Structure 1
Amino acid sequence: MPPDEILCCSFPTTLKRATREWFTKLPTSSIDSFEHLSNAFLRHFIGGQRPKRLADYLLIIRQREKETLRSYMKRFTRETLEVDEADDKNPPKMMAKMLLKAQKYMNAEDALVAIKDVEKT
């Protein structure tokens, strides 16, 4: 079987219309393997498997107690793949800005953990 990189790069060439639109809306770095991509695709397009989700659904996704920001953002990004309708009030530019800001906080969180680990030893 070809490596994941080849499978993931060739996959979009097989898509048309709604499937291509779904693929192009995947957030950057939201897929980490071909298996993950395949599962996300199947979950999204197999009818009757899940209720329709509007962009407002993302507003209820909260960071859990003791959940790292990095873990929360990974879960949030996965959930964005489940949204069926685009929300013109929240264009991709806003999402990109939010993800960039979150990345800065995640880096700071990682640095604090590293400092605490050094202090323990």
Structure 2
Amino acid sequence: MTLGLQQPPDEILCHSFPTTLKGATREWFTKLPTSAIDNFEQLNNAFLRHFVGRQRPKRPADHLLTIRQGEKETLRSYVKQFTRETLEVDEVDNKVQLTTFKAGLKSREFVMSLAKNPSKTMIEMLLKA
């Protein structure tokens, strides 16, 4: 019962932290000088400064209209790029996401199949993609 109330030691927190990281965050962590961090609070603050402190202002929803699937770009790559860009948009609703996603697709056949069987949510659309 008391285990849930106790804070784990810094050593455990610092060693377990990198196991939760992927991609850019993992790369950032591996480039930290070994002597730069003495405790978990410093690690937490360094992480926040690097990733939260660099956040750009949110973009308007019409930014999604600029995302287009390249001629030789795979659908998987386009979905990944579109999803990443959506995170940078301020208050985008489901209809805008669906419309702009379809507008950026290169395959007219896929767009026609989506028109015949329309998705109601972006998740549904991504599953079809």
TM range (shorter): 0.3 to 0.5
Q: TM-score, normalised by structure 1?
A: 0.41
